[in-house]
C-alpha cells in the first residue's frame, strides 16, 4: 500500500467514524425521545408525516442515505463501512427510517443501483435515495405461493400488446400502504414450483390494477406502511417497466437479499445494544439480597452471554460484509450471519428483559417493545430453519467436490 493510498484509507475510516458518531448523536438526542413517547409505534407517532420530518432533519445534518449512490445524494458507503453507522441508527426503532436506511427502501436502493437502466435510475432510484419517495418489494404470497420457497411464485405476467399484464395477490408486503412505487416479482415462464421464470417489474403505486388491501396485524409496529395484502388485477405495464432481464428475476433477488439480510442484522444489533445497555443500567442501580444485582453471579452470567453474543454477531457480520464487498456471492457467509444474528439478537433482548424483572416486560423500559420488533427477524428474509438447510447443503456439496476432485 502506497503512502497516498494509506492516507486515503485512513481518511475514509475517519469519515465513516465521524458519520457513525453524528448518527449516534442524532438518534439518541432527537429520535429516541419520539420513540419513547409512543412506545415504538410509528403509526401513533405520525407515520409518514414523522418520517418526512426526521428525514428532513437528517438531510440538514448530512446523515441521509449513507448507503445510497453518491450521484443521487447518498454517501456511497460499502457494506463494511455502513455496518457501524447502521448499528448506531438501529439503537432507536425509528432510527433507520430517520436516515432513510430502513427496509424495504434500503434493499430496493441496492437492487436498483445494480440492475436498473439509466432511465429507471433517474425515475425511481433518485427519488428514493433523496427521500422523496417510498417503495415496496412485492414478492411474498399467501400459501401455496412464494414464501420461504420463492419458486412457488404464482403471480403471473403475460404478454399483451406493448407490454405485460400482471395478475396475482401478495401478502406481508412491508411499506405497501403509502408507497410511491412497487417492485413486483411475477412469473413470466414456467409453472409454480419450477426454478427460474421470474421477472421483476417497476410500477408506480397509482397505476390502475394495483390495490393495497388490509394491513396484516403483526406484533411489530415500527415500520411505516405496515405489512399489507396487495392485489394486482389486470395491471398493464409497458416493456420498459421490466427491471433487468425477463426470466432473470430470481437471480436479481439474490442481488438484493444477501446485502439486505446483513443490513437487517446491523439495525437490529443496534436495538439489541440498547436493550443490553438498559439492563446494565438497571442491574448496577438495583440492590437485592444485600448487594447490587450486577454483582450477583446469575446476573453476571446473563450479562456475559450478552457480551459474547454481541461480539460474535459483529464478527460474523463483518466477515459477510467483507465477502460482499469483494464481489463474491457470499451466500454461505450471509446465511450464517443472518441465522446467528437473528437468534443471538433475540437472546440478548430476552436476557435483558429477564435482568430487569417486571420492568423488563413493561412499557416503562424499551426492552419489551424491542423484543416484539426483533422476534420476526427469525422469520423474514429466510427463516432460520431454511438457512440452516441451505448452509448444510452447501457444506455437503463442497465436501463432495473435495473428495471427488
Mean of pLDDT values over 122-128:
98
CATH of domain 3-129: 1.10.540.10
**Cell 400488446 -> residue:** 161
14 pLDDT higher than 70: no
What radius of gyration, in Å, describes the C-alpha atoms of the chain? 22
What pLDDT does 289 receive? Answer: 87
Locate the domains of the chain by residue range.
Answer: 3-129, 135-247, 250-404
Average pLDDT over residues 185-200: 95
**E strands of 249-362, at which residues?**
287-288, 291-292
- Residues 74 and 76: their CA atoms lie apart, in Å, by 6
* pLDDT band, residue 195 (cuts 50/70/90): confident
Give the tens place of pLDDT for each residue, 56-102.
Answer: 999 999 999 999 999 999 999 999 999 999 999 999 999 999 999 99
Please give the Cα distance from 59 to 52 (Å, whole number): 10
Model confidence pLDDT, tens digit, residues 254-276: 999 999 999 999 999 999 999 99
Domain covering 250-404 in this structure, CATH number: 1.20.140.10
pTM higher than the cut 0.85: yes
Give the residue-averaged pLDDT of 233-246: 98
The pLDDT of residue 373 is above 90? yes
Spatial separation of the C-alpha atoms in residues 286 and 239, rounded to whole Å: 64
Q: Fold identical between 3-129 and 135-247? A: no
Can the peptide bond before residue 144 be classed as cis, meaning omega within 30 degrees of 0?
yes
- 147: pLDDT strictly greater than 80: yes
Q: What is the mean pLDDT of the chain?
A: 95
Nine-digit cell at 37? 413517547
CATH 3.40.190.10 given to domain 135-247: no
The upper half-sphere exposure of residue 332, i.e. CA atoms within 13 Å in the direction of its Cβ, equals 9
Amino acid at each position: 500500500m502506497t503512502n497516498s493510498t494509506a492516507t486515503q484509507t485512513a481518511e475514509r475510516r475517519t469519515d465513516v467514524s465521524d458519520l457513525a458518531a453524528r448518527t449516534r448523536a442524532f438518534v439518541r438526542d432527537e429520535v429516541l425521545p419520539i420513540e419513547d413517547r409512543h412506545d415504538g409505534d410509528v403509526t401513533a407517532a405520525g407515520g409518514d408525516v414523522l418520517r418526512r420530518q426526521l428525514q428532513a432533519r437528517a438531510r440538514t445534518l448530512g446523515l441521509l442515505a449513507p448507503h445510497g449512490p453518491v450521484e443521487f445524494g447518498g454517501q456511497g458507503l460499502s457494506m463494511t463501512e455502513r455496518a457501524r453507522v447502521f448499528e448506531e441508527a438501529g439503537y432507536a426503532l425509528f432510527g433507520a427510517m430517520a436516515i432513510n436506511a430502513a427496509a424495504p427502501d434500503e434493499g430496493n436502493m441496492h437492487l436498483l443501483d445494480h440492475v436498473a437502466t439509466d432511465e429507471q435510475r433517474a425515475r425511481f432510484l433518485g427519488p428514493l435515495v433523496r427521500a422523496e419517495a417510498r417503495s415496496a418489494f412485492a414478492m411474498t404470497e399467501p400459501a401455496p405461493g412464494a414464501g420461504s420457497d420463492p419458486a412457488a411464485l404464482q403471480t403471473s405476467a403475460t404478454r399483451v400488446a406493448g407490454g405485460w399484464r400482471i395478475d396475482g395477490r401478495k401478502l406481508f408486503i412491508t411499506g405497501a400502504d403509502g408507497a410511491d412505487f412497487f417492485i413486483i416479482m411475477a412469473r413470466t415462464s414456467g409453472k409454480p414450483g419450477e426454478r427460474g421464470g421470474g421477472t421483476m417489474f417497476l410500477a408506480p403505486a397509482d397505476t390502475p390494477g394495483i390495490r393495497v388491501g388490509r394491513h396484516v396485524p403483526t406484533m411489530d409496529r415500527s415500520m411505516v406502511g405496515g405489512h399489507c395484502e396487495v392485489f394486482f388485477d389486470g395491471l398493464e405495464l409497458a416493456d420498459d417497466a421490466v427491471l433487468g432481464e425477463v426470466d432473470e428475476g430470481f437471480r436479481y433477488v439474490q442481488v438484493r437479499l444477501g446485502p439486505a439480510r446483513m443490513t437487517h442484522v446491523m439495525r437490529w444489533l443496534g436495538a439489541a445494544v440498547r436493550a443490553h445497555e438498559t439492563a446494565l443500567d438497571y442491574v448496577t442501580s438495583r440492590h437485592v439480597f444485600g448487594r447490587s444485582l450486577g454483582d450477583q453471579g446469575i446476573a453476571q452470567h446473563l450479562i456475559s452471554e450478552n457480551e459474547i453474543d454481541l461480539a460474535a454477531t459483529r464478527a460474523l457480520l463483518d466477515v459477510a460484509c467483507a465477502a460482499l464487498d469483494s464481489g463474491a456471492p457470499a451466500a454461505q457467509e450471509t446465511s450464517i450471519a443472518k441465522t446467528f444474528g437473528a437468534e443471538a439478537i433475540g437472546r440478548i433482548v430476552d436476557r435483558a428483559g429477564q435482568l430487569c424483572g417486571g420492568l423488563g416486560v413493561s412499557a416503562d423500559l424499551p426492552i419489551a417493545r424491542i423484543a416484539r420488533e426483533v422476534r420476526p427477524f427469525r422469520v423474514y428474509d429466510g427463516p432460520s430453519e431454511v438457512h440452516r438447510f441451505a448452509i448444510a447443503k452447501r457444506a455437503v456439496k463442497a465436501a463432495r467436490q473435495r473428495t471427488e476432485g
